[in-house]
Amino acid sequence: MPKENPAAAPAGGRASRRRERTRAKLLAAARTVMARKGTGATTIQEITEQADVGFGSFYNHFESKEAIVEAMIGEVEETFARALDQIADVVDDPAEVVAASVRNMMERVIAEPDWGRFMANSRLSAPHLQTGFGARFARDVRLGIEAGRFSVEDLEATLVAVGGAVFALAAACLDDVIDFEAPERTAILVLNLLGIPSPEAVEVAHRPLPELESS
Amino acid sequence: MPKENPAAAPAGGRASRRRERTRAKLLAAARTVMARKGTGATTIQEITEQADVGFGSFYNHFESKEAIVEAMIGEVEETFARALDQIADVVDDPAEVVAASVRNMMERVIAEPDWGRFMANSRLSAPHLQTGFGARFARDVRLGIEAGRFSVEDLEATLVAVGGAVFALAAACLDDVIDFEAPERTAILVLNLLGIPSPEAVEVAHRPLPELESS
């Protein structure tokens, strides 16, 4: 049973695990450096130094700086999309689905500031918001409109405004401008934008969060 | 009368006018390059090349790239602060003041895309929003709350959310994601965030704009 004895595993398996580890190190390093300097000002050399790997090995994993940024955004999208799907599965009220999704994201920003800063600095652009995470969020909002729970006149602009408001509140939270109940306060403002006025939005945004499988 | 005969003006006057022109060229060049590449990735050399001035003369005007970005943000703030003051002078309804301010900004973004892209890319950070333009906007919102025109539970987070929403809509408008009535649609969503629901927000956001002195 090769699995019990890693030394006996085919070279391909071990090499491929090492490859995965280096890739993960590069991604984590890029997140740290870009959180500090922004994606534009970050160089590949700074990423490989932070990851403590040789400069050349960057190109075994990514074609360019743009490619690693794409991969990072892909990771973010994947994580959020999974969380949103899980929330939508267990929560019935569309307003609560949206509030829980926003709170989940803000809590992750607070728990992993490097990751949050990368996100707030790079702000997923409009094309990205049309796939993955953004598409899921738009789906949840549409379901809420169809159910008569949200009152939205201008869906297109509202989705852009919600995205901008959430990213700005995430950045303000990381800069300690908003330092108390940031996830709930963000969710309340998103619900306001979706046409749920405040006394009710406050109640929805404070319901217990559903338990999610950790990813 | 030296003023009638520029050639007779003291050398200091002429030199100072030339100095002003170079400074303005550098600012315009920085706006163009940073609109394309973001502030982080822009180099001083790219700015001087775009401005068609020697590399060294940059440092006669600005200490660093950060200093020119500060000056650019200062210019933006100054222009907006003036427009907001003029609007607040001639319009009585606080909701109309806010809607006209937002529309004025979005119209400028559309008319001068380089300038708009610089703004959308650099997104004035929270400290900037506490002075100049942001302080004026906050003042107008506060006046609306005192007059009972706005219903805002969480002023601090709401101002951050409004800023994020407006910048995101400006970017979406420059990317042609929002390509119809962007100023009015943005103003409507800002009024929604300030507690004015949509049928009324739509009416306020379509009132004729006050005429402003051009700057």
ipTM: 0.81
B103, B118, B192: which to substitute to probe chain A, counting the most A Cβ within 10 Å? B192
CATH of the domain at A38: 1.10.10.60
Q: What is the pLDDT of residues B146-170, one digit of tens each?
A: 999 999 999 999 999 998 899 889 9
Task: Kindly report, residue by residue over B40-59, the tens digit of the pLDDT.
Answer: 788 999 999 999 999 999 99
CA distance B26 to B60: 11
* Per-window interface: B 149-188 vs A, CB < 8 A: 151, 153-154, 156-158, 160-169, 171-172, 175, 177-178, 182, 185-186, 188
Instruction: Check residue A129 and give its pLDDT.
Output: 55
- CA pair distance B80, B6, nearest whole angstrom: 33
Residue B182: predicted pLDDT: 95
Give pTM, 2 decimals: 0.81
Domain of residue B207, residue span: 71-215
Residues whose CB falls within 8 Å of the CB of residue A151, separated by 6 or more in sequence, listed in order: A145, A194, A195, A196, B197, B198
Judgement on whether residues B34 and B95 belong to the same structural domain of the protein: no
Closest to A161 (Cα-Cα) out of B116, B22, B160, B122: B160
For chain B, how many residues are written? 215
Same domain? A39 vs A86: no
Is residue A210 within 8 Å of A91, Cβ to Cβ? yes
For residues A158 and B189, is the Cβ–Cβ distance under 8 A? yes
Residue B195 in this model has a pLDDT that exceeds 80: yes
Q: Do A178 and B166 touch (CB under 8 A)?
A: no
Q: What is the mean pLDDT of residues B113-121?
A: 77
pLDDT of residue B84: 86
Tokens coding B137: 């906007």
Radius of gyration of chain A (CA): 20
Residues B111 and B9 in one domain: no
Same-domain check for residues B81 and B111: yes
Tell which wins on pLDDT, B115 or B91.
B91
List the 16-45 stretch of A: residues with Cβ below 8 A of B. 37-42
Domain count within chain A: 2
Q: Could you tell me which of A181, A182, A133, A134 has the C-alpha nearest to residue A158? A: A134
CA-nearest residue to B167 within chain A is A164
> In what helix (H) or strand (E) does residue A176 lie, and over which residues does it extend?
none
Percent of chain B with pLDDT over 70: 88
* pLDDT at residue B74 tops 90: no
Higher pLDDT, B35 or B126: B35
Q: Which residues of chain A fall short of a pLDDT of 50?
A: 1-9, 126-127, 215
**Under a CB-based contact definition with an 8 Å cutoff, are residues B152 and B141 in contact?**
yes
8 Å CB contact of B38 and A37: no
Q: Residues A14, A16, A19, A25: is their CA dihedral positive or negative?
A: negative
Mutate to test the interface with B, among A192, A198, A203 (most CBs of B within 10 A): A192
φ/ψ bin of A124: left (φ > 0), alpha (ψ from -120 to 50), beta (otherwise): beta
**Residue B160 with chain A: CB contacts under 8 Å:** 165, 168-169, 172, 177-178
Higher pLDDT, B101 or B133: B101
Report the CATH number that the domain containing residue A91 is assigned in CATH.
Answer: 1.10.357.10
Do B88 and B57 belong together in one domain? no
pLDDT tens sequence across B21-46 = 999 999 999 988 988 887 778 899 99
Write down the pLDDT at residue B8: 46
Interchain CB distance below 8 Å, A198 and B153: yes
Residue B158: its H or E element: helix B155-174
